Amino acid sequence: MGRLVKGVWREEWYDTEASNGEFIREDAGFRDWIKNEPSARFQPESGRYHLYVSLACPWAHRTLIFRELKDLTTHIEVTVVSPDMLTEGWEMSLPDPLFGFTRMHQIYTQAKPDYTGRVTVPVLWDKKHNTIVSNESSEIIRMFNSEFNELTGNHDDYYPEKLRNDIEHWNNIVYENINNGVYRCGFATSQKAYEKAFEDLFSALDQVDAHLAKNRYLAGFEITEADWRLFTTLVRFDAVYVGHFKCNKKRIADYSNLQGYLKELYQVSGVRETTDFDHIKRHYYYSHTGINPTQIIPKGPDLDLNSSHQRVLSLND
């Protein structure tokens, strides 16, 4: 794992010494927006944008799900990088179709030759201005949710105004303690930092599980952005985070409500096809040599996500 410093690639791990062993994620470096407005620099157009993702990455997975749910598959092309992230970061499985590059960091310096920061996925590329629109997944999914509606005719709304306070409430809990919480466990380099992240993670999972005993989804009885942001961590949890990141107090399969909720979301049309457990396990166990120096990829676990997901809610409590 590394980063770009003024456009030059350096193999450099996170500086956890400065944070007492705690993993701190860097903010995204590109934060522009596609807007369906005449004056906008980036406007919704079919074929204009290209999405770079890893099937292993939970942040990138969000954007693939929204691309499916919002009928954008024929309008926004996708390049899937290799699951391997080694000495030069994310590698391309094949030379990328726009420039013939073989490393994601080349996409970043194509947009900004002196870029400094982590090279992450997803990346939303604009072919018209030859630059990156955004590498912030939470903002890309909001663009996909609303800005292409006139183009696709799909007006499904996963961030409805009436539920936004609830959605943001759960996004805040889920991001810090669960989405990023598993990384805070796995990338911690002190016992104290690991145990703090571990307690935060399972406290939040317990809170969500209890909430789902009375609510079908996080914001009530309607699937929203908050559910999809949680889903991409839950679907990787038993396969990777329990063992590789030492998140081993419980599996998602051990939670009566979370497991049924996970199955229901996994079985939504189009979502299963965006989920690749071979890529997921290969990336984490093979790429993180500081955690798994042998690079041995486990054969298990057997995951039961295709069976019935009927849940009984305690609505009278």
Q: What distance in Å separates the CA atoms of residue 278 and residue 29, rounded to the nearest whole number? A: 29
For tokens 């310096």, the residue is 109
User: Residues in the chain, how many?
Assistant: 317
- DSSP state at residue 102: S
Contact 283, 58 (CB under 8 A): no
Q: For residue 107, give both structure tokens.
A: 């996409």
Active-site residue identified among 183, 255, 284, 286: 183
The three-state secondary structure class of 208 is: helix
Q: Is 185 a catalytic residue?
A: no
φ/ψ region of 50 (left if φ > 0, alpha if ψ in -120 to 50, else beta) reads: beta
Active-site residue identified among 57, 175, 285, 286: 57
Q: What distance in Å separates the CA atoms of residue 96 and residue 94, rounded to the nearest whole number? A: 6
Q: What distance in Å separates the CA atoms of residue 85 and residue 13, rounded to the nearest whole number? A: 13
Contact 86, 93 (CB under 8 A): no
Q: Is 57 a catalytic residue?
A: yes
Pairing mode, strands 49-53 and 77-86: parallel
Q: For residue 268, give both structure tokens.
A: 């939504």
Catalytic residue list: 57, 183
